[in-house]
Chains A and B, each alone.
Chain A
């Protein structure tokens, strides 16, 4: 069963690589001007480009081959993690994205943790007292938050906690508390949805026949909740996390751009803006792989907490 999860996700990773690789190839071919000159300019600086250097690049990257051969070369290079050099900075793409990936994972993990810390207690409380004042106010808050793009949430946080009350840096990276605002922006967007999922799930669990039966067996309210509530209510919440990951990844692109956080999302937006195809490919690939990796973790967590569907 675990093997099946891993194989499925591995296949998905391959699809991501193929999709990103192909789109990047199309992008590369559709760029105006002579590709070889552009690559050479990226590598050796604008002033050092000679016909010779361009010819050398052309040979190396097989740029004069027919399209289908060039396409195969392109994909093979990607498989070997040879992602080329940035057309802008001239640095190898792999080095740049290695750093970026670390920053993005840091942000993603902090956001998920913060979101869980908010969503679970608040969701459970509003589920236990459904239609009470807490439930109603959280519903309103969640509806308002869900109607904001995540960059607007980030913007509000900046205006409030960096400009009006200068508690945190407006943007950038390097101070100890720099992660707080970007991570909170992402976490608020996540928690706005998942707190409602927790709430609905809690409500369903405490009205389920098995919850009732546990009470009737003689367990106290707290024992019933601990033994039968927590795990059962987590099942749909964790499964839903898989759907929310799309939003998280999209949020990372926005929030990193807004806060100039040196992660993959920022890198991707930047690369697209400056049409730096090797960087586009590298960052999109990492973004996709990060998405697949997080999805795999969600699958494994689902498998761990829900024994249904496992072979006997």
Chain B
């Protein structure tokens, strides 16, 4: 095996602070190397340090060798000469990495023209071939805002590798992509492997598992564990990796309890809705009963939130009916949001917001301490404002606020997608407990079919 890239105790510092602790790894042809860690784990710094893209305020120590040549000591000019030609880098968010006012074809052909020295016409033809090769014939004349997320990712892939770089660094290539699109990207990366080497940085355990090869698990700039991917994932040694794996819905073991049969609170019959001439869903019928968790799955833009508005009574159905067991007050049909800080008034202590609510509905404020304990919340948190509390805590406070109202329906719209997996798991567990202990129907919206499968009593696919 030829050794391509060798990283020896590489670390990144900002002043006295160490952002990335010493890390060593070797990247060889045809064997993928994956770095797994949550956002803020400092893993993106590694790719930037290898490329030479770190801002000057950060200090790099250690050594990076490319085929024996030390990179960190090279002058910037020579490092830039490697970009595209030897080292290719797939951007994090392809939508933002593509020039917003340039057509896809040109974004690829300029590489052929300026880097490889082709005439403009020949470069255009080559770009067309490259893009067609990945099924992007339709995208040639489109600008990024007209591309879907998956298409943008493929255009970025073609553009990044057009100059012939054989060593691909992919930084969070699946961020923000739906489940189906994610697998396409993994296939794309595997295809690259046949021509060179691949370093992938991801937060997604499934991506790491599918890619195989070597795996490094990181947490807050520290390497937790390093080894062969399959073995490591099957038998993790560090506590952190174990927790991380356990938080993945596919590993959840808690058994589902079937709720006792009760009269449905909300009945949905033949519900249809279209938006912008496109049918979102048609002839939807189901019932929501107390203590029952209903899962709604589907890719983004499939009308999950619209269904929520219909159930919450904020939208009149275009066809079909939503009937309630008895006329519920609006504040008994409540929602949990994807982004917890976005659901609270900013700059006001949380206890003030709760006090406002208690006064408005003449609620029993003495229930708050019990609920705090039930949701494992420190009462001190309520003295802070929403942006001073972590996402997981705030989501639990949102749950508390909802439970204070004795809700009939709790519509949880992707309540964990912005949280790290461990925190997300806690929230889901709490939701399950809420459904068990309170006589309300819980609807859980998610893009993750596995999670819904593991927790819900009935599942609606859009």
User: Which chain A positions have C-beta within 8 A of B83?
Assistant: 215-218
- Which of A216, A220, A308 neighbours the largest number of chain B CB atoms within 10 Å of its CB? A216
Q: In this assembly, does B99 line the interface, its C-beta being within 8 Å of a C-beta of chain A?
A: yes
Contact with B along A277-312 (1 / 0, CB 8 A): 000000000000000000000000000011110001
A49-57, A105-113, A227-235: which lies at the interface: A227-235
Q: Which residue of B lies closest to A235 (CB)?
A: B101
Q: Which of B248-263 contact A (CB under 8 A)?
A: none
User: Which chain B positions have C-beta within 8 A of A223?
Assistant: 110, 114
A306→B91 CA distance, assembly (Å): 23
* Known A209-B92, A223-B114, A312-B142: A216·B98 in contact at CB below 8 Å: no
Q: In this assembly, does B322 line the interface, its C-beta being within 8 Å of a C-beta of chain A?
A: no
**Are B115 and A217 within 8 A (Cβ)?**
yes
User: Which chain A positions have C-beta within 8 A of B162?
Assistant: 217
Q: Which residue of B lies closest to A223 (CB)?
A: B114
Q: Which residue of B lies closest to A232 (CB)?
A: B101
CB distance from A135 to the nearest CB of B (A): 17
User: Which chain A positions have C-beta within 8 A of B346?
Assistant: none
Q: In this assembly, does B93 line the interface, its C-beta being within 8 Å of a C-beta of chain A?
A: yes
Taking a contact as CB atoms closer than 8 A, the residue among B80, B84, B98 that contacts A210 in the complex is B98
**Are A306 and B163 within 8 A (Cβ)?**
no
- Which of B99, B102, B111 neighbours the largest number of chain A CB atoms within 10 Å of its CB? B99
* Known A209-B91, A217-B163, A232-B101: A308·B145 in contact at CB below 8 Å: yes
**Are A218 and B101 within 8 A (Cβ)?**
no
- Which of A213, A218, A223 neighbours the largest number of chain B CB atoms within 10 Å of its CB? A218
Taking a contact as CB atoms closer than 8 A, the residue among B84, B100, B101 that contacts A216 in the complex is B84
Contact with A along B61-105 (1 / 0, CB 8 A): 000000000000000000010011100110111001111111100
User: Which chain A positions have C-beta within 8 A of B91?
Assistant: 209, 212-213, 216
CB distance from A269 to the nearest CB of B (A): 42
User: Which chain A positions have C-beta within 8 A of B100?
Assistant: 210, 232, 308
Q: In this assembly, does B160 line the interface, its C-beta being within 8 Å of a C-beta of chain A?
A: yes
Interface size class of A (residues with CB under 8 A): 20 to 34
User: Which chain B positions have C-beta within 8 A of A232?
Assistant: 99-101
* Known A213-B98, A312-B142: A219·B111 in contact at CB below 8 Å: yes
* Known A209-B96, A306-B101: A216·B115 in contact at CB below 8 Å: no
User: Which chain B positions have C-beta within 8 A of A213?
Assistant: 91, 97-98, 156, 159-160
* Known A217-B84, A217-B160, A218-B85: A312·B110 in contact at CB below 8 Å: no
**Are A219 and B99 within 8 A (Cβ)?**
no
A208→B93 CA distance, assembly (Å): 12
Q: Which of B363-385 contact A (CB under 8 A)?
A: none
CB distance from A227 to the nearest CB of B (A): 6
Taking a contact as CB atoms closer than 8 A, the residue among B92, B93, B99 that contacts A214 in the complex is B99
User: Which chain A positions have C-beta within 8 A of B143?
Assistant: 307-308
A179→B159 CA distance, assembly (Å): 50
CB distance from A201 to the nearest CB of B (A): 13
Contact with A along B155-174 (1 / 0, CB 8 A): 01001101101000000000
A209→B93 CA distance, assembly (Å): 8
CB distance from B199 to the nearest CB of A (A): 14
Chain A contact residues: over half helix, strand or loop, or mixed?
helix
User: Which chain A positions have C-beta within 8 A of B163?
Assistant: 217-218
User: Which chain A positions have C-beta within 8 A of B160?
Assistant: 213, 216-217
Q: Which of B130-157 contact A (CB under 8 A)?
A: 142-143, 145-146, 156
Q: Which residue of A lies closest to B169 (CB)?
A: A216
A214→B96 CA distance, assembly (Å): 12
A216→B107 CA distance, assembly (Å): 12
* Known A218-B84, A307-B143: A210·B115 in contact at CB below 8 Å: no
**Are B101 and A312 within 8 A (Cβ)?**
no
User: Which chain B positions have C-beta within 8 A of A215?
Assistant: 80, 83
**Are B99 and A218 within 8 A (Cβ)?**
no
A312→B159 CA distance, assembly (Å): 22
**Are B114 and A219 within 8 A (Cβ)?**
yes
**Are B99 and A216 within 8 A (Cβ)?**
no
CB distance from B178 to the nearest CB of A (A): 21
User: Which chain A positions have C-beta within 8 A of B114?
Assistant: 218-220, 223, 227
**Are A209 and B145 within 8 A (Cβ)?**
no
Q: Which residue of B lies closest to A219 (CB)?
A: B114
A306→B102 CA distance, assembly (Å): 9
CB distance from A145 to the nearest CB of B (A): 31
User: Which chain B positions have C-beta within 8 A of A231?
Assistant: 101-102
Q: In this assembly, does B51 line the interface, its C-beta being within 8 Å of a C-beta of chain A?
A: yes
Q: Which residue of B lies closest to A309 (CB)?
A: B145
* Known A215-B83, A216-B83, A307-B143: A210·B111 in contact at CB below 8 Å: no
CB distance from A256 to the nearest CB of B (A): 38
**Are B96 and A210 within 8 A (Cβ)?**
yes
Q: Which residue of B lies closest to A310 (CB)?
A: B143
User: Which chain A positions have C-beta within 8 A of B156?
Assistant: 213
A213→B162 CA distance, assembly (Å): 13
Q: Which of B110-124 contact A (CB under 8 A)?
A: 110-111, 114-115
**Are A228 and B89 within 8 A (Cβ)?**
no
CB distance from B63 to the nearest CB of A (A): 22
**Are B51 and A228 within 8 A (Cβ)?**
no
User: Which chain A positions have C-beta within 8 A of B146?
Assistant: 312
Taking a contact as CB atoms closer than 8 A, the residue among A212, A218, A306, A312 that contacts B111 in the complex is A218
A218→B81 CA distance, assembly (Å): 7
A218→B51 CA distance, assembly (Å): 12
5 more A-B residue pairs beyond the given contacts A232-B101, A307-B101, A312-B146, with a C-beta to C-beta distance below 8 A: A214-B99, A216-B91, A218-B85, A218-B163, A227-B99
Which B residues are closer than 8 A to A by beta carbons? 51, 53, 80, 83-85, 88-89, 91-93, 96-103, 110-111, 114-115, 142-143, 145-146, 156, 159-160, 162-163, 165
| Between-chain CB contacts (< 8 Å), 25 pairs | A209-B93, A213-B91, A213-B98, A216-B53, A216-B83, A216-B84, A216-B88, A217-B83, A217-B115, A218-B85, A218-B114, A218-B115, A218-B163, A219-B84, A219-B110, A219-B114, A219-B115, A220-B114, A223-B110, A232-B100, A232-B101, A235-B101, A307-B103, A308-B143, A308-B145
Instruction: Give 3 nearest A-B pairs by CB, closest first.
Output: A218-B84, A218-B115, A213-B97
